[in-house]
Amino acid sequence: MTDIQQIKQRYHIIGNSVGLNHALSIAAQVAHTDLTVLITGESGVGKEIFSQIIHQLSPRKHNSFIAVNCGAIPEGTIDSELFGHEKGSFTGAVESRKGYFETVNGGTIFLDEVGELPLGTQARLLRVLETKEYIRVGSSKVQKTDVRVIAATNVNLLELIQRGKFREDLYYRLNTVPIKVPALRERKEDIYILFRKFCIDFADRYNTKPVALDEEAKKLLTNYAWPGNVRELKNIAEQVSVLSSNKVISAEELKQFIPESFSNDLPILSRHSGGGEGGDYSERDIMYKVLFDMKNDLNELKKIVYGTISGNQANMAASHVVPISTEQNPSLRNIVVDQSQPHIISSSKENLIEVEQSLSLAEIEKETIIKALKKHRNRKDAARELGISERTLYRKVKDYNLE
Please indicate, yes or no, whether residues 202 and 154 belong to a single structural domain of this protein.
Answer: no
**Does a structural domain hold residue 305?**
no
Q: Which CATH number does the domain housing residue 219 bear?
A: 1.10.8.60
Please indicate, yes or no, whether residues 34 and 104 belong to a single structural domain of this protein.
Answer: yes
Please indicate, yes or no, whether residues 56 and 76 belong to a single structural domain of this protein.
Answer: yes
Question: For the chain, first and last CA: distance in Å?
Answer: 59
Please indicate, yes or no, whether residues 146 and 204 belong to a single structural domain of this protein.
Answer: no
* C-alpha–C-alpha distance, residues 176 and 369, integer Å: 36
The 10s digit of each residue's pLDDT in 15-30 is 999 999 999 999 999 9
Contact 319, 335 (CB under 8 A): no
**In the predicted structure, residue 309 carries a pLDDT above the cut 60:** no
Coil, helix or strand for 327? coil
Coil, helix or strand for 343? coil
Please indicate, yes or no, whether residues 213 and 117 belong to a single structural domain of this protein.
Answer: no
Mean pLDDT of the chain, nearest integer: 81
Domain boundary among 124, 148, 182: 182
The 10s digit of each residue's pLDDT in 55-94 is 999 999 999 999 999 999 998 899 999 999 998 888 888 8
Please indicate, yes or no, whether residues 45 and 143 belong to a single structural domain of this protein.
Answer: yes
Nearest CA among 150, 148, 144, 221 for reference residue 187: 221
Domain boundary among 255, 283, 299: 255
Q: Which domain holds residue 27?
A: 3-182
The 10s digit of each residue's pLDDT in 113-148 is 999 999 999 999 999 999 999 999 999 999 999 999
**Does a structural domain hold residue 276?**
no
Burial of 131 (0-12, 13-18, 19+ CB in 10 A): exposed
Please indicate, yes or no, whether residues 236 and 98 belong to a single structural domain of this protein.
Answer: no
Q: Which CATH number does the domain housing residue 167 bear?
A: 3.40.50.300
Alpha-carbon torsion angle 314, 319, 323, 329, nearest 10: 160
The 10s digit of each residue's pLDDT in 252-263 is 999 999 987 533
Please indicate, yes or no, whether residues 175 and 35 belong to a single structural domain of this protein.
Answer: yes
Q: Radius of gyration (Cα) for the chain, nearest Å? A: 27
Contact 149, 55 (CB under 8 A): no
Please indicate, yes or no, whether residues 93 and 214 belong to a single structural domain of this protein.
Answer: no
Please indicate, yes or no, whether residues 8 and 127 belong to a single structural domain of this protein.
Answer: yes
Alpha helices in 135-176 (DSSP H): 157-162, 168-174
Please indicate, yes or no, whether residues 110 and 164 belong to a single structural domain of this protein.
Answer: yes
Read off the DSSP letter of residue 181.
P
Nearest CA among 269, 302, 273, 297 for reference residue 283: 269
Residue 218 or residue 315, greater confidence: 218
**Does a structural domain hold residue 168?**
yes
The pTM (predicted TM-score) of the whole model is 0.64
Counted domains in the chain: 2
Span of 7-21, 55-69, 185-199, 336-350 with lowest mean pLDDT: 336-350
**Does a structural domain hold residue 313?**
no
**Does a structural domain hold residue 203?**
yes
**Does a structural domain hold residue 296?**
no
Domain boundary among 182, 202, 231: 182
Please indicate, yes or no, whether residues 145 and 113 belong to a single structural domain of this protein.
Answer: yes
**Does a structural domain hold residue 325?**
no
* C-alpha–C-alpha distance, residues 263 and 268, integer Å: 10
* C-alpha–C-alpha distance, residues 317 and 350, integer Å: 20
Which helix (H) or strand (E) segment holds residue 147: the answer is none
**Does a structural domain hold residue 135?**
yes
